């Protein structure tokens, strides 16, 4: 058996609630309109307030960040100045070290020459008679130079070697 549902209205007829607006409110919704408008206004106002508050906080954070950045830039500038002064001092120290090394190398060459001269003189003493006073002056001068160089007095050591060189040269039988 089949049951058919029929409507008293003809085809294409509209139901009585078809003209109602959203939220199921029809002609009786006029009393709700002020409440909905107020609710919408409060929502917009709250959203606007949140946006303003968020903007104020963001601007405060930006100002704090800018102050921190300015302070950091000042500290960085001071550090760069200190670094430049340290680099200048380091350059000066390197130059003084290079000069000391050159001076030491010259002293070493002079000492080597004097030692060679002394060795020849000692060989000559054995083979022939040498004035022992001159030999003593030569050896004493070389010893004094070595002692001065050993304690870091390079210029004094060089002066002592120069002073002893005439005595040491006098001992050279080939000169």
Do the domain assignments include residue 20?
no
The confidence score (pLDDT) of residue 105 equals 92
Domain contains 164: yes
Residue 139's domain comprises 35-170
pLDDT digits (tens, 9 = 90+) for 122-138: 776 555 666 778 888 88
Residue 7 within a domain? no
Instruction: Give domain status of residue 1, yes or no.
Output: no
Within-domain flag for 112:
yes
Identify the pLDDT of residue 126.
Answer: 58
Residue 11, in any domain of the structure: no
The reply to whether 149 falls in a domain is yes
Nearest to 115 by CA among 143, 157, 154: 143
Across 7-11, 112-116, 151-155, 164-168, least confident range? 7-11
Residue 113 in contact with residue 168, Cβ under 8 Å?
no
pTM score of the predicted model: 0.37
Residue 79 lies in a domain: yes
Quick: pLDDT tens for 22-33.
Answer: 554 555 567 888
């Amino acid at each position: 058996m089949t049951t058919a549902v029929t409507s008293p209205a003809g085809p294409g007829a509209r139901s009585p609630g078809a003209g109602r607006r959203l939220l199921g409110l029809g002609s009786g919704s006029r009393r709700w309109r002020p409440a909905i408008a107020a609710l919408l206004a409060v929502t917009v106002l709250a959203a606007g307030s949140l946006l303003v508050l968020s903007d104020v906080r963001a601007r405060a954070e930006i100002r704090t960040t800018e102050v921190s950045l300015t302070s950091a830039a000042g500290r960085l500038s001071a550090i760069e100045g200190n670094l430049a002064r340290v680099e200048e001092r380091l350059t000066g120290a390197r130059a003084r070290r290079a000069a000391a090394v050159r001076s030491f190398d010259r002293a070493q060459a002079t000492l080597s020459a004097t030692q060679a001269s002394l060795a020849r003189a000692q060989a000559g003493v054995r083979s022939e008679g040498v004035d022992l006073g001159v030999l003593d002056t030569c050896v004493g001068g070389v010893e004094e130079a070595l002692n001065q160089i050993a304690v870091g007095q390079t210029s004094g050591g060089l002066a002592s070697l120069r002073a002893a060189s005439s005595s040491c040269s006098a001992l050279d039988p080939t000169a």
